[in-house]
Every structure is written in C-alpha cells, then in structure tokens.
Amino acid sequence: MRNFVKQTFASAIGSLLGLFLFFGLGTAGLLFLLIAAASIDEGPLVQDKSVLVFDLSLNITDSNPTSSTSEAIGEALSGENTGSLTLRSVLDALDAASKDQRIAALYLDGSSAQAGSSTGFATLKEVRSALERFRASGKKIIAYDVDLEKREYYLSSVADTVVLNPMGEMELNGLSSQPMFLTGAFEKYGIGVQVIRVGKFKSAVEPYILKQLSPESRQQTQTLLNDLWGEFLTATAKSRKLTPQQLQAIADNQGVLSAADAKERRLVDKVAYFDEVVADLQQISGNKNDDDKSFPKISLSSYADLENKDAKNSSSDNKIAVIYAEGEIVDGEGSGGDIGGDRFAKQLRQLRMDDDVKAVVLRVNSPGGSATASDVIQREVRLTQKEKPVIVSMGDMAASGGYWISTYANRIFAEPNTITGSIGVFGMLLNVQKLGNNNGITWDVVKTSRLADSNTVSRPKTPQELAISQRFVNRIYSDFINKVADSRKLPKPKVAEIAQGRVWSGQQALKLGLVDEIGGINDAIKYAAKQAKLGEDWEMKEYPETGGFGERILKTLGGEKDVKKQIAQDPLTAEFLKLQADLAILKTMNDPLDVYARLPFNLRID
C-alpha cells in the first residue's frame, strides 16, 4: 500500500511539474510543491510484527549530514532518508525498537554495503553496544551479506544468525594503515618543503619530507593498530563463542574465506541465498502466505524519523546542549564540513549565555588543524565550564587540535578504539622556486629590511627565518603541554613524556589520564544531566541546528554543492582519491601563524 501511495504521488508530482513549467510558474512553484511533498503524512508506518531493516551501507555521522539536491528531493518523495543517519538517531532508534512491541526482529542487511566505508570503529562500537542491548531484549537479529568485510562483521557478529551467500566471501585479515608519501613527486616537480615541528612522533609532515615511515611513526601506528585490532578480536570472538587467538590464526593464515570455510570456522551460522533469509524473516513476522514473499518491515531511517518526531513532542525548560565538532579545525568561519574557530566559539558563547541550557556535551570527531582556531575554541570551553558542566564525548578521533579543545571539560568520555592524544605541533613551509625555474620563471625582490619578504613562496626560508618560525612552534607546544597539565591535573614532566605528538587509543588514553571514562555519547549526555542535577526533567537539543526537509530543499535547490555518493571503486581510482584527499587538506591549512596541531595526514585504517 505504501509503495502504491508513493508511486501515485510521484506520478501526480510529474504531471503537476509539467503544468508548472507550461504556465511558467518556475522555481518558486516547484519549491512550494516539493515542500508540500515533504509534509505529506502517510499515517502509521510500523505494522505489527514488523522487521526493522538496518542497511549496513548506511553512512553514520555525528552531526546531521547535508543532502544533495537529488537526495533531498528523493527523501521528500519517499519519506525516507536513505543515505546517512546520525549516530544518536541510530542509537535512539535501536533502543526504542528493543522496547517497541510492534518490532519483532532486526535484519542487518550487508548486501549493498560498499568497500571503503568511512564510518570509524569508535562509532561502530557504540552501534554494536546498541545491537547487544537489542538482542538482550529477547528479539532476534538476523544478518545477511554477500561480501562480508571487517566493519560489517564487527556489527553482524552480534546477530543470533549470521548468513553468508553461497557465492560470497568473508574478509578477516587484520587492520593496516598505508600512508601515501609525496616527497618524490615534490622533488620531481620542484616543490620545496621545509618543516618545523616539536614532538618526535609528530608525523603529520612526513609524507612531504620522507619516502617511508620514520621509526617513531611506525611504532605509534603499530601500537594504535594493535589496540584497535585487539578490541575487534575480543568483541567478535565473545559474540561468536570463539577465542581471540582463533580469530588471529584465521587472520594470519587465511585472511579471506569462502562462505563454506567461514561456516566451518564458526564465523557465520548459515550459508544461504537471500530468498531463504526472507523465508526466515516471514516466519518471525508471522507471514506464512506462500503467494506473498514479502513481510512487514520498516527501514532504520524511517523508524528513526518517527522516533525523532515523537521526541520533538516532549519539551522541558532544562536543555542539555549537544554540540558537534566534526571535521578539520580551521581559522575563521570555515565551511560546512569544517570546524571554523570563530563560528564554533560563537556557538559555544551563545550556549553559555542561554539560561535554558543547563549543561553542554561537546562531541568531538576531529583530527585537529589550526592551532590558533583550536585555542579560540578552547577559551570558550573554559569560560562555559565555569558556568555550567561541559562534558566531552570523543568519537572516532579527537586528536591534536581535537584534544586541545577537549582538555578543559569537566569529564572526557572516549571509546576504547577512539584515536586521541597527538599532543604536538608543526609548521610546513612550501616554496616553488625550482618548479618556477624549471619552467622559465624567476623572481626578484626590492625590500626595506632583511625579513620583509619572509612570507614568499619563491624561495626556501633562510636559517634566520626558520629559527623565528621554530620559536613560535616551540612556544605553542609549550602552551599545549601546560594547558594539558593544568586541565588534567597531571605533572608537567608526565605530560611532556606522553605528548611528543604521539597518537593513543582510547583505552591507552584512559590509563595515561588523558580521558576519564570509557563510554559513548549517551553516557556523556546522562553524565551531563547528573552533573547539572536535573533528574528526569530535561531534554536534549543538538547544535548546529538543521532545518526540516523544506529548508533543506530550499538550500539545495538554491545552489548548495552536492555531496558525492559513495560508489564502488577500482584500486587505482581509490588511490587517486586518497591522493586528492591528502592534497585537499593543504587548502584547510589557514592558520595565521602557519602552526598546526593535527594528526598524521589522513590516518586511514583498512
């Protein structure tokens, strides 16, 4: 019935579009029509004994993603958000479904998941915990996949029944990180690089000055991967009633398994086709009609939308503000995908002055960036913390500048596989002298003092100029150390020892005193409410605020850039896109002092 409604409505939209264009009503009429479509209420969507369908290709983000024009229109017509969903929406939906008598089971559909998922393991850890709570409620979870990769298996291993297609395969080969080094290309094309840094582990500049990992960078990356892989093995082994040692042996000796091998190793429960999975889901939902191969179901995205609508109906004068710091930290206002220091500080300032906001949860998912912008944000965190509780929840990564803005919170929560620390700073000075000379370009200069042209890219920096820049880096690093020691109540020598730009996992950061507790975003929110002494009389509000479908369609049709959809990539294209992403980071490096507190460039874990 619902499909019929959608198809009929879509047909009507098509006809009306023709009339609008024929009579010249143009964009305004089209916008009105689409916004009206977004507000269509089709009535109850959850039938009795429905199966909640969790598409594992879903991109899970911290804050609300921006839909492309086509996605926004598609969502308006279908009533579903099929591309991305926020972590809190996923967690709330799964917890609500575990108590919803209309939901009979959960189906984890990995059949359309693409390689190269960007959802990090710390985010997946929180989702996995929600899946465990769902299963503990007594409801069944069935997982099905064709090409079962590590991220999908991390979630699917929770299921009562894990099914793999007979022609499918399973990847269990461990974690790796393969950074790309551009030094040779820069040498070939004549781009000069000079670096200034503090911290022997501060490897963010290495792709531009080395051709392979330094011993220090290799050491910290190996330690980090070992921690993340250890958590993966422990969690999945427990769910599958195996030992971490058994899984490690498979990773060392097989890596990729056929469906039959995966079943023999007890990594999956069944080898079956999709129609056989559907038959099982029909049994669970009570649909035994052989003429009808469907079953009552609702997507996680649609169910989350229903839960969000219900949540909006409740209100309290006491607000817990959840503000998302997601992306690169840049100086100034920044763009939609960045954390602009000035813009973010202004938002914190507004929350500090809002009497209805009783506590702030700062959710950080950032590799860092501009040292200046990080300090601007940290100042507002400190001022806010003096007036109301500020609790930090670390996501996939909260390192370097991401740690800088976190350190003065009343309490810091992190997942065991969060990437954090990286307390260190660097500067990178490029010049194109050789590139220009090789192509017949030369420069000359007239100046009134020795250092008047010190910001030029037409030549390398002189020893004197490098010494000046190094002093700035040293001072900022010293400030970083002092602030961590002050905020975390740690001896300065200890901070200096665990700093050095070194990256730590959340579980190691807890032992070192860099974070306070292992937990997710909901744990941080509950703790904030407790610290503010609100009891049960409070509601959560997220920032930055996003508009409804109508506003999003207006924005996207008004010229917002489309978000690239994730598509299957051949290995060569994947490497090219990695290069493109690495070079794109240079555009975000706009610190006025050219000093940065950032993770190793695009730390990727495969």
Whole-model pTM over 0.75: yes
Q: Please give the radius of gyration of the chain, using alpha carbons only, rounded to the nearest integer.
A: 26
How much is the pLDDT for 316?
83
> What is the pLDDT confidence band of residue 573, given thresholds at 50, 70 and 90?
low
Q: For residue 250, what are the CA distances in angstroms to 145, 230, 237?
A: 19, 14, 12
Q: Are residues 22 and 53 in the same domain?
A: no
40-54, 99-113, 231-245: which range is least confident on average? Answer: 40-54
In a domain, 438, yes or no: yes
Give the model's confidence band at 42: pLDDT under 50 very low, under 70 low, under 90 confident, else very high. very low
Are 53 and 177 in a shared domain?
yes
In a domain, 197, yes or no: no
Question: What is the mean pLDDT of the segment spanning 304-326?
Answer: 82
Residue 582's pLDDT band (cuts 50, 70, 90): low
Residue 352 domain boundaries:
317-562+573-598
- Residues 297, 333 within the same domain: no
pLDDT at position 119, please?
86
Indicate if 257 and 163 belong to the same structural domain.
Answer: yes
Residue 194: inside a domain, yes or no? Answer: no
Residue 603 lies in a domain: no
Beta strands in 383-538 (DSSP E): 390-399, 411-414, 419-421, 425-431, 503-505, 517-518
| Interacting residues of 127 by C-beta distance below 8 A, sequence separation 6+ | 60, 87, 90, 91, 94, 155
How far apart, in whole angstroms, are the C-alpha atoms of residue 240 and residue 246? 11
Mean pLDDT of 440-458: 91
Say if residue 83 is in the same domain as residue 221. yes
Residues 7 and 79 grouped into a single domain: no
Nearest to 429, CA basis, from 454, 452, 450 = 454
Answer yes or no: do 3 and 92 share one domain.
no
pLDDT computed for residue 5 by the predictor:
39
Q: For position 570, what pLDDT does the model report?
A: 52
pLDDT at 329: 95
Does some domain include residue 329?
Answer: yes
Query: pLDDT, tens digit, for every residue of 228-281?
Result: 999 999 999 999 999 999 999 999 999 999 999 999 999 999 999 999 999 999
For residue 6, pLDDT over 60 is answered with: no
At 600 the pLDDT is: 62
Average pLDDT over residues 468-487: 94
Tens digits of per-residue pLDDT, 370-405? 999 999 999 999 999 999 999 999 999 999 999 999
Catalytic residues: 202, 400
Provide the residue type at 75 as one letter: E
Percentage of the chain beyond pLDDT 70 is 79
- In this structure, the answer to whether residues 429 and 501 fall within a common structural domain is yes
13 pLDDT more than 50: no
Same domain, 75 and 36: no
Question: 251, 284, 307: which is the final residue of a domain?
Answer: 307
pLDDT of residue 307: 75
Question: CA-CA distance, 374 to 400, in Å (whole number)?
Answer: 9
| Best mean pLDDT range from 440-454, 566-580, 592-606 | 440-454
Res. 580 pLDDT band, cuts 50 70 90: low
CATH number at residue 418: 3.90.226.10
Task: Specify whether 34 is located in the same domain as 69.
Answer: no
CA–CA separation, 80 and 298 (whole Å)? 10
For the chain, how many structural domains are there in total? 3
Same domain, 141 and 18: no
Between 63 and 134, residue with greater pLDDT: 134
According to the model, what pLDDT value does residue 562 have?
A: 39
Q: Per-residue confidence at 200, pLDDT binned at 50, 70, 90?
A: confident
Same domain, 222 and 321: no
Task: Give residue 544's pLDDT.
Answer: 81
